Structure 1
């Protein structure tokens, strides 16, 4: 793994300087932050570095508008790093970490992250989730060499950021179910060591959701550890499959559309939370479906498929150009579709058995998310039913990663299943 040092404890920020020296020696440091995170831990972090004789430069983004992980922000940090041989130390969470991770990769240097909130699982992942020309994608880059998380700072972070991390963590339930589907269809075999790395901490966090809602330091630490474990799993596999399924792809659609609420971007974890509940709902409905007619179900031609893709991505011709080749590669018709439908029919009983063990009941998961402060409907993140349906349809089109949405689409049941949401659950 890329990450050699990970310290999660009370007062950890005061050890950051010594940990930096342990990882990188007495080189210069570039502190990457925004005005918010600089106010949270900037003084303690700079003091800790300077006490070890480390010269610190700064690259600080404004508090508003919130920094966005795109090619322009990456370029700003990359140019700052290019001025000398500094090692980046990012003080922040999701976007700041992804920006710094990618910029460091582009100048071929390691980096260190000092977390300010247990809000995402991307701290320790090998790639950076960024938007290039408006298209949300995961770019290759190394994970941080050193991760420092002060539980006092984590617990004092705004509750929506803690809830965002909880939502991102709960996504591992449905991501795991999607991996089961892909495993049973022979499309992406399961690795049990990686599975346990993610799923065991996930269940500990789920059991502690009431304590997390009350900012219990130990439980918030468990949340950060579980999010880190997901990142470590992605490092080992060089693939986000262990931590990301259809729920993340739904989130990607909203990120491409720059979904906002009250004038601010909706957090990654909140978008993922809604996507997770949607996929959990679909999995629960899957048990009640009659697949006996699967071989006779109608299917789209590529021309019909292309027309529907163009409708979903009409908001951005640039993104549409990037989506079409991906969607074409994964599109099945004729004998290939018949073969897949036969495979689904054979695998379905075992898929249902394994997923019944994997997934908590939809209602219980929804209640746990609500107690921690996650959104539980598309209206909570300022979107409409129409946009919600478009995001689900689009999520099936944008990645060559097999999920429940692919199973439903290929079986000819996706549109029928979307009608189930009309029952008012969301």
Structure 2
């Protein structure tokens, strides 16, 4: 996908203004987050034990080298698997309020959603360092959350900054990439649905949102064997495709 299309999407996106995808981008992530998100605000890193080991400790050092002020991180246990429940979002929100920090989530779906909702309730931006190509919600708005025994999607803005290192993604458990592959595969029949809705006059196609999703989906799905083998270069299309899906939601306003 052309850089011009992505740049135009970032201009039109409601919340996300910086996307960095590639091999080794974690090594420049400190300056990426300082310049694109933190400024002179302190930073609260939100992770679990597994994502901290995979990328969190490295990010902390890169942030310090870039001049960021870090408060004590919130690191949840790796087992049992962290659940997207509202009480965890409240805990993160109150720590952000207490410290005056901005959040950076280090992880995939659950950790991203918790930091997203906590930050959204304080009406402040946040960033995410993605650790697995497991879903298309990194750059999307809203957070699926369990509250009062019900699973609902709670409104909140998408991240200001998204960083996705391909080496980190390739080192994640293979089933996570399989999940993301399935998520992106669903965009093909979804595109067909949108063509029909457009033809029926129900929901007109948004040209830029269409290009963001459909323009790269074929390439993103073209190397399943290499993805399963954990070859970092094979993750470029998948990781970009997943991020562009969320970005397209922002551009199109959720259509």
Tell me whether the two structures share a fold, i.e. TM-score over 0.5: yes
Partner SS state of residue 230, structure 1: helix
| CA deviation string 1:15-34 (max 9, x = no partner) | 12111220221221000001
Q: What are the within-5 Å matches in structure 2 for residues 88-103 of structure 1? A: 88-103=103-118
Distance 2:162 2:96 in 1: 19
Q: CA deviation at 1:65?
A: 2.0
Distance 1:190 1:222 in 2: 23
Which is richer in helix? 1
TM-score by length of 1: 0.54
Structure 2 unpaired stretches of 5+: 1-12
Q: CA deviation at 1:140?
A: 1.9
**Does the Cα contact within 8 Å between 2:134 and 2:181 map onto a contact in 1?**
yes
2:61 counterpart (39, 44, 47): 47
Distance 2:166 2:196 in 1: 36
TM-score by length of 2: 0.88
Distance 1:206 1:42 in 2: 28
Q: Aligned pair 1:27/2:44, yes or no?
A: no
Distance 2:166 2:223 in 1: 16
| CA deviation string 1:338-377 (max 9, x = no partner) | xxxxxxxxxxxxxxxxxxxxxxxxxxxxxxxxxxxxxxxx
Structure 1 unpaired stretches of 5+: 242-426
Q: What are the within-5 Å matches in structure 2 for residues 149-228 of structure 1? A: 149-228=164-243
- Aligned pair count? 240
Q: CA deviation at 1:53?
A: 2.6
Larger radius of gyration: 1
1:8 counterpart (16, 21, 35): 21
Indicate the structure whose relative CO is greater, using CA pairs within 8 Å and at least 6 residues apart.
Answer: 2
Residue in 1 that maps onto 2:52: 38
Distance 1:25 1:175 in 2: 39
Partner SS state of residue 82, structure 1: helix
Distance 1:230 1:192 in 2: 14
Change (3 A) 1:217 1:143: same
**What do you get for the CA RMSD once the two structures are aligned?**
1.6
Distance 1:102 1:34 in 2: 17
**Does the Cα contact within 8 Å between 1:126 and 1:238 map onto a contact in 2?**
no
| CA deviation string 1:369-413 (max 9, x = no partner) | xxxxxxxxxxxxxxxxxxxxxxxxxxxxxxxxxxxxxxxxxxxxx
| CA deviation string 1:323-352 (max 9, x = no partner) | xxxxxxxxxxxxxxxxxxxxxxxxxxxxxx
Q: Aligned pair 1:140/2:155, yes or no?
A: yes
Residue in 1 that maps onto 2:122: 107
Partner SS state of residue 103, structure 2: strand
Partner SS state of residue 124, structure 1: coil
